[in-house]
Each structure stands twice: as structure tokens, then as C-alpha cells.
């Protein structure tokens, strides 16, 4: 069976037969899948009244373990946002009662962000919805196919320099 990328590649082969567009086929499939996967995640989280960007911030905090807290700068780095964009997101999450801001005792200028009890409860439900959506999206793949895809995609990410960028220091238990 052919997909939309096969059609696109066929058109390029007809128009520019001297070009090897095989790499473009892989990149486009990943981009198309990313859009489809994002829509699935948004639908799953929408049922909880949560937007994907909200989930990403809450999940970054939750994954730290108790006290589910990070400095604003580390949180921005983990979510690949500027400090200004992160401040806006924290403002919105704080207004909803999902996160709390506190002064960083180790840095007079620093601010820590932590999950509120409501935020923790919501993100714990959200990860279950997120996992169910991911399982549904990959339901046609066998366990072996999923493992093979994970290996290939990990290799691509590592070669593109995405090595452990999400790692951060654990905040002090103040």
C-alpha cells in the first residue's frame, strides 16, 4: 500500500529524476506522524481539561519525584522554552491552582515551581490518558516492531545531539 508520502516522492521522481529523495520520505513520515500523534495526545488530555503544553510542564515537575519541584530555569530548559515563555505558562498554571512558586533558598534571584496537590492529581490522571492514547496510536505494531522503532528513533535523536538534554539537577528538599 502507498501512503501520501509515496505520492509526493513519486511526483518528485517524475519532476526531478536525478534526485534521491529517500531521506525526505523518512523525514516527512516522521513529521506527519508527529502531527497525528500530537492530535491524539491533545484529544486524550482535552478530556481532562488539560492542554498539551500544560501537561508537559506538569509532567516535567511530576517526574522529579517529591517534592515535584524545579527551578524555573531548569523547567524552561526541560520543556525547551525561553524563560519568558515559561513565566507566562507558570502564570497560567498558577492561576488554575496547579503549581506553586516559592523563592529558591539557595539563590536569592531564583524561583522554584512545584506541583500543587491538585496539579499532582491531575497529572497523575493525565499520564494514564497519555499512555492509553500512545498505546492506541501504536496498536497496529507488534511488541517487536515497537522495540525496533524505538531503537531506530533513539539512534536518530542521539546522532542529532539530543543526548540527555532533559536531565536536570534534583532540587534541594527545602
Termini Cα distance of the chain:
58
Average of per-residue pLDDT across 71-90: 91
List pLDDT tens digits, range 5-23. Answer: 999 999 999 999 999 999 9
pLDDT higher than threshold 90 for residue 108: no
CB 92 within 8 A of CB 56: no
pLDDT, position 79: 87
List pLDDT tens digits, range 87-97. Answer: 999 999 999 99
Three-class secondary structure of residue 4 per DSSP: helix
**DSSP state for residue 111 in the 8-state scheme:** E
Query: E strands along the chain, which residues?
Result: 69-71, 99-103, 111-115
Name, in order, each residue with C-beta under 8 angstroms of 113's C-beta and a sequence gap of 6 or more.
61, 69, 70, 71, 72, 75, 90, 99, 100, 101
pLDDT, position 174: 39
The topology (CATH level 3) of 47-159 is Arc Repressor Mutant, subunit A (1.10.10)
pLDDT higher than threshold 70 for residue 116: yes
pTM for the full predicted model = 0.81
* CATH 1.10.10.10 in the chain, residue ranges: 47-159
Amino acid at each position: 500500500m502507498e501512503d501520501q508520502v509515496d505520492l509526493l516522492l513519486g511526483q518528485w521522481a517524475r519532476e526531478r529524476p536525478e534526485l534521491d529523495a529517500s531521506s525526505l520520505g523518512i523525514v516527512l513520515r516522521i513529521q506527519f506522524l508527529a502531527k497525528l500523534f500530537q492530535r491524539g495526545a491533545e484529544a486524550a488530555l482535552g478530556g481532562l481539561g488539560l492542554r498539551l503544553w500544560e501537561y508537559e510542564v506538569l509532567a516535567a515537575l511530576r517526574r522529579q519525584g517529591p517534592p515535584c519541584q524545579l527551578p524555573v530555569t531548569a523547567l524552561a530548559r526541560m520543556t525547551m522554552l525561553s524563560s519568558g515563555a515559561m513565566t507566562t505558562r507558570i502564570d497560567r498554571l498558577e492561576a488554575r491552582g496547579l503549581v506553586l512558586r516559592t523563592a529558591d533558598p539557595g539563590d536569592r534571584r531564583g524561583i522554584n515551581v512545584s506541583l500543587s496537590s491538585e496539579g499532582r492529581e491531575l497529572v497523575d490522571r493525565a499520564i494514564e490518558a497519555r499512555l492509553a492514547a500512545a498505546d492506541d496510536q501504536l496498536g497496529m505494531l507488534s511488541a517487536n516492531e515497537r522495540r525496533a522503532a524505538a531503537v531506530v528513533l533513539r539512534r536518530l535523536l542521539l546522532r542529532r545531539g539530543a543526548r540527555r538534554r532533559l536531565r536536570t539537577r534534583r532540587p534541594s528538599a527545602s
